[in-house]
Amino acid sequence: MSDTLSRLAETIATRRAADPATSWVAKLHSKGVPGIARKLGEEAVETIVAALSGNREDLIGEAADTLFHLLVLLDAKGVPLAEVLAELDRREGISGIAEKAARKEP
């Protein structure tokens, strides 16, 4: 599964500097991190709505959009997907409750 996400992350990185008139990734990057973050938030809300509507196909499509826009945001911030995957690997086998309790609160 992560092969698909890794390929997508690579594609996003190559399209970052393309012409915004022909590349959605470049268009998002032209709006900066705030614009990308807003788009990710919009897609996340649409994913929630799809989950609550009971329509499986809508949920699949919106989840794909959310993952895509998350990868665009990570790219914009210079955070490689591999680092996120490594963090998930680190958390594997740890209770979510225990993992959250171990985090340092600001």
* Domains along the chain with CATH numbers: 2-79 (1.10.287.1080)
Q: Which residues of 76-106 are buried (b: 16+ CB within 10 A; e: fewer)?
A: beeeebeebeeeeeeeeeeeeeeeeeeeeee
pLDDT one-digit tens code per residue, 6-65 = 999 999 999 999 999 999 999 999 999 999 999 999 999 999 999 999 799 999 999 999
Q: How far apart are the first and last CA of the chain?
A: 34
What is the distance between the alpha carbons of residues 40 and 69, in angstroms, rounded to a whole number? 5
> What's the whole-model pTM score?
0.86
pLDDT tens for 53-84 read 979 999 999 999 999 999 999 999 999 999 99
- Per the document, the length of the chain is 106
Side-chain-side CA neighbours of 35 within 13 Å: the count stands at: 10
Task: Give start and end residues of each alpha helix (H) in 1-106.
Answer: 2-15, 24-30, 32-53, 56-76, 81-91, 96-102
